[in-house]
Amino acid sequence: MAENGKVIYHRVFGISNFDPTVQLKMDSQFRLGSVTKQFTAMAIMMLKERGKLEYSDDIRKYLPELPYEKITIRHLLTHTSGLPNYMTLFNRHWGSPKDNSSENKIAANEDVIEMLAKHHPEVMFEPGAIFRYSNTGYVLLAAIVSRAADTAFHLFLKENIFAPLGMTHSLVYSTIRDDQMVDRVYGFRLDGSDFLPNDFHYLNGIVGAGGVYSTTHDLFKWDRALYTDKLVSSSTLVEAFKPAVPTYQGTTHYGFGWFIDSTLSGKKRLLHSGGWLGFRTLISREIEEDNTVIVLTNHTSPYIGAIMQAIKQILHDKPFTFPKISITK
């Protein structure tokens, strides 16, 4: 937690693995889940500034295999494309997804494109009409980054975001490549009063909507960089931090890879949470007050929401309550 740009609380609790038991460290690398989306959006913004694409481009300019009309890059960024959920599609058509073992074939982004092209599930609404959160859109954005930049998505983020910012413990992980991490954290789920492994999934080769691993240290470097023009110009960031306005819905609470709401003081806050398998994560940036909260966890505890709410209260010198924890847990 940082207040006025300075870290005021930074602690680590628990373990990163059970077999063997490994204690969490300050630089333990957590799966970020949907917190990844802000990095995918940044890659698109960087390519836009370099003249490689426009937000108004039809996605078929880069993904000609797709049968969908009138969907733009901006629609993908703001979750207003109407595209169906690729996970539902894979559960219906991808081998034996219910057997979620390491023997099941791992899917990748190109498989998502192929599946959409082959089965052509209908859009849920006219592109641009309303907001509906879409992991599919951000998977396609990662594919667009790869094709527009003519380089793999994981390499683009490494070379253009992580390395320039000194985010040395951050990477886009894929089960297919089996990228190595010195301080990798493994996910667990709560089952009664026991924690059971919950880290592998046959969709772990798909990136863009998720896939980034990082640390609290690295995410704070990311936070600091977003107050500068080191990656993109301030005008580009201003546009990214504006809520989208769908045709039939009015103003949303989402920009480019960030939810947008207000702090307890009524000022602007950018945030995004993540949840995939055993991981629950959050980054909250009160950009007009320069306050930051980063929470990374590797279990499915039902108390995480209450903990995050208490942290927000503490940061603003407001009364807070501890979560009420069942005696069995």
Question: What are the tokens at 16?
Answer: 């990163």
Residue 141 lies in a domain: yes
Confirm if 52 and 156 have CB atoms less than 8 A apart: no
Read off the pLDDT of residues 246-302 as tens digits, 9 standing for 90 and up. Answer: 999 889 999 999 999 999 999 999 999 999 999 999 999 999 999 999 999 999 878
Report pLDDT for 329. Answer: 67
Report the chain's mean pLDDT, rounded to a whole number.
94
Task: Note whether residue 328 is domain-resident.
Answer: no
| Residue whose token pair is 């989208």 | 244
Considering the domain boundaries, does residue 322 fall inside one? no
Q: Domain total for the chain?
A: 1
CATH code assigned at 39: 3.40.710.10
- List the catalytic residues: 34
- pLDDT tens digits, 167-195: 999 999 988 888 889 999 999 988 877 88
Can the peptide bond before residue 67 be classed as cis, meaning omega within 30 degrees of 0?
A: no
Which segments within 169-239 are labelled E, that is strand? Answer: 171-172, 188-191, 194-197, 212-214
SS3 272: strand
Q: Is residue 124 part of a domain?
A: yes
> Which range of residues forms the domain containing residue 183?
2-315
Q: Which residue has the higher pLDDT, 221 or 179?
A: 221
The answer to whether residue 97 scores a pLDDT higher than 70 is no
For the chain, how many residues are written?
329
Is the residue at 122 inside a domain?
yes
Distance CA 243, CA 314 (A): 27
Write down the pLDDT at residue 68.
Answer: 97
Q: What is the DSSP string of 4-51?
A: TTEE------SEEEETTEEE--TT-BEE-GGGGHHHHHHHHHHHHHTT
Q: What pLDDT, on the 0 to 100 scale, is given for residue 240?
A: 97
Structural domain includes residue 326:
no
CA 324 to chain centre: 29
Residue 303: count other Cβ atoms within 10 Å of its Cβ.
16
Does 324 reside within a domain? no
Tell me, rounded to whole angstroms, the distance of Cα 216 from its chain centroid.
15
> What confidence tier does 236 reach under pLDDT thresholds 50, 70, 90?
very high
